[in-house]
Homo-oligomer: A and B are copies of this chain.
């Protein structure tokens, strides 16, 4: 018979099932986007990779752009969580330690999920057309309708806020000594990550560039950034 609880259970199952399949498709999409880039990726192949038809991909995500934005949203959620965790774990440590931890987190995120970084950057490029009338590129209808594009807008500022907040804490507890604005330090750090990722991408599977292992490179960069935070320059 019908009863509330049963109905509820069915609903949960359905939602769960849907979420699971959405996840499967998203996973497949990530693989395809990662290996071929956004432009070269084909919806057909994403479907195949997920073991469903192209139309099913459209059933779950309404457009290629929305699908990509779903990945960008995943990326942001992931990054935010990693950063919240980092801040939480560094609660009892100095502001400097926390910021360094956040940097490590950034590198880890970027290295582990290069596609996520790219998707986030693309998201930011795309949103530029929204926020300012100065840029000529027009948003497509599909992007305007994209649910995930909208969802992303609610959370895309969390990383800056966190880093800036921890830098301020470091300045207060004097573990950080730097007369530049927290935002400047944030951008420097983030720029370092982005540059590093480009190089890692160039290194490819070889994992080294001009005989330098990318891991060593990262460590050196972090060291330089650390230095930058603790020195008045």
Within 8 A of B (CB), among A97-148: 121, 124-125, 128, 132, 134-137
A231 to B225, CA, bound (A): 13
Q: Is residue A1 contacting chain B, with contact meaning CB distance below 8 A?
A: no
Q: Is residue A20 contacting chain B, with contact meaning CB distance below 8 A?
A: no
Given the interface contacts A194-B194, A223-B233, does A135 sit within 8 Å of B183 by beta carbon? no
Q: Is residue A18 contacting chain B, with contact meaning CB distance below 8 A?
A: no
A212 to B211, CA, bound (A): 36
**Quick check: B183 and A210 within 8 Å, CB to CB?**
yes
Within 8 A of B (CB), among A191-233: 191-196, 198-199, 201-202, 204-206, 209-212, 216-217, 220-221, 223-225, 227-228, 231, 233
Binding site for B on A (CB under 8 A): 35, 39-40, 121, 124-125, 128, 132, 134-137, 160, 180-181, 183-184, 186-188, 190-196, 198-199, 201-202, 204-206, 209-212, 216-217, 220-221, 223-225, 227-228, 231, 233
Which B residues touch A221, using CB under 8 A?
188, 191
**Quick check: A187 and B210 within 8 Å, CB to CB?**
yes
Q: What secondary structure prevails in chain A residues at the interface with B?
A: helix
**Quick check: B211 and A125 within 8 Å, CB to CB?**
no
A188 to B225, CA, bound (A): 11
**Quick check: A191 and B217 within 8 Å, CB to CB?**
yes
- From B125, B195, B231, give the contact of A192 (CB < 8 A): B195
Which B residues touch A209, using CB under 8 A?
183, 187
- Please name 7 pairs of A and B residues whose Cβ atoms are closer than 8 Å in the assembled complex, sorted by A: A134-B204, A183-B212, A187-B217, A188-B220, A191-B195, A192-B192, A224-B225
Which B residues touch A206, using CB under 8 A?
132, 134
A213 to B68, CA, bound (A): 30
What is the total number of copies of this protein in its complex?
4
**Quick check: A194 and B198 within 8 Å, CB to CB?**
yes
**Quick check: B217 and A132 within 8 Å, CB to CB?**
no
A184 to B72, CA, bound (A): 32
Known: A181-B212, A191-B196, A195-B195. 6 other contacts (CB 8 A): A39-B39, A132-B204, A132-B205, A134-B204, A191-B217, A198-B198
